């Protein structure tokens, strides 16, 4: 992987706390007008934000913070019952305003970067999550247009098997959405509407209404995949 510009130009990082190693990868979008504007902010000491990697719309990959360091990208939230996600993760920012699809060159570059990161740190596919997964209600990136299925087909994330749309009138399985979401890594102490919103944003982005049978079938599969994959990291 070749990084453009000077390697590691962002001063916004510190040591990983408690001797933690990366066990998660958190994917973001920049929500800014250009990659250059995002880079400027991620490297501005006054902004106090950063990420390990930035990928432009054309697939240019830039190293902003060493992977061994704690970048400031995740903020408040948790995954799999553990906080301080910054100390447990590698953050990847994709130059995208959040309102349009992610271009092919950018996705191809992300895939190669993920292959390298997962191999380098022995991170399982279940450990690749979105910012919205660990911060429901606070963050929505990488958003409904991000192609998680594409990553899963290459073993770079997880995705449930196809489930028929059972519709709002279908009987609910005897399972609790909150419990299954917690097994999948989400914070089960959050209000159920936030859990459902975060889960659907990733796995069923165009659905609406209360929890239905399709949601329960999907979240049960995701929980199983998480367990079978060794969990989303420790």
Q: What is the pLDDT of residue 88?
A: 98
Catalytic residue list = 93
pLDDT band with cut points at 50, 70 and 90 for residue 169: low
Give the DSSP H or E segment for 27.
strand 24-29
The helix (run of H) or strand (run of E) holding residue 55 is strand 53-55
How do the domains of the chain map onto residue ranges? Answer: 13-153
CB 94 within 8 A of CB 102: yes
Q: Compute the distance between CA of residue 99 and CA of residue 172 in angstroms, rounded to an integer.
A: 33
Q: Where are the beta strands (DSSP E) in 64-110?
A: 70-71, 89-94
Distance of CA 227 to the CA centre of its chain: 18
Contact 28, 52 (CB under 8 A): no
pTM of the full structure: 0.92
pLDDT at 5 over 90: no
Helix, strand, or coil here: 182? Answer: helix
Fold of 13-153: Lysozyme-like (3.40.80)
Average pLDDT value over all residues in the chain: 91
Is the pLDDT at 174 greater than 60? The verdict is no
């Amino acid at each position: 992987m070749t990084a453009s510009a000077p390697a590691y130009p962002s001063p916004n990082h510190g040591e990983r706390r408690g001797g933690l190693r990366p066990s998660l990868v958190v994917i973001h979008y920049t929500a800014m007008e250009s990659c250059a504007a995002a880079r400027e902010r991620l490297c501005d000491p006054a902004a106090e934000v950063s990420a390990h990697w930035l990928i432009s719309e054309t697939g240019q990959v830039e190293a902003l913070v060493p992977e061994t360091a704690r970048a400031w990208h995740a903020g408040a939230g948790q995954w799999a019952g553990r906080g301080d996600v910054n100390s447990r993760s590698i953050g990847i920012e994709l130059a995208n305003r959040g309102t349009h699809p992610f271009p092919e060159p950018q996705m191809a570059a992300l895939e190669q970067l993920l292959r390298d990161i997962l191999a380098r740190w022995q991170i399982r596919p279940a450990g690749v999550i979105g910012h919205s997964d660990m911060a429901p209600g606070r963050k929505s990136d990488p958003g409904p247009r991000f192609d998680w299925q594409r990553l899963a087909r290459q073993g770079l994330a997880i995705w449930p098997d196809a489930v028929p749309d059972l519709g709002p009138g279908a009987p609910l399985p005897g399972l609790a959405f909150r419990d299954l979401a917690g097994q999948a890594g989400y914070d089960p102490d959050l209000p159920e509407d936030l859990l459902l919103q975060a889960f659907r944003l990733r796995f069923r982005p165009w659905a609406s209404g209360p929890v239905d049978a399709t949601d329960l079938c999907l979240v049960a599969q995701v929980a199983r995949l998480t367990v079978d994959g060794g969990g989303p990291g420790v």
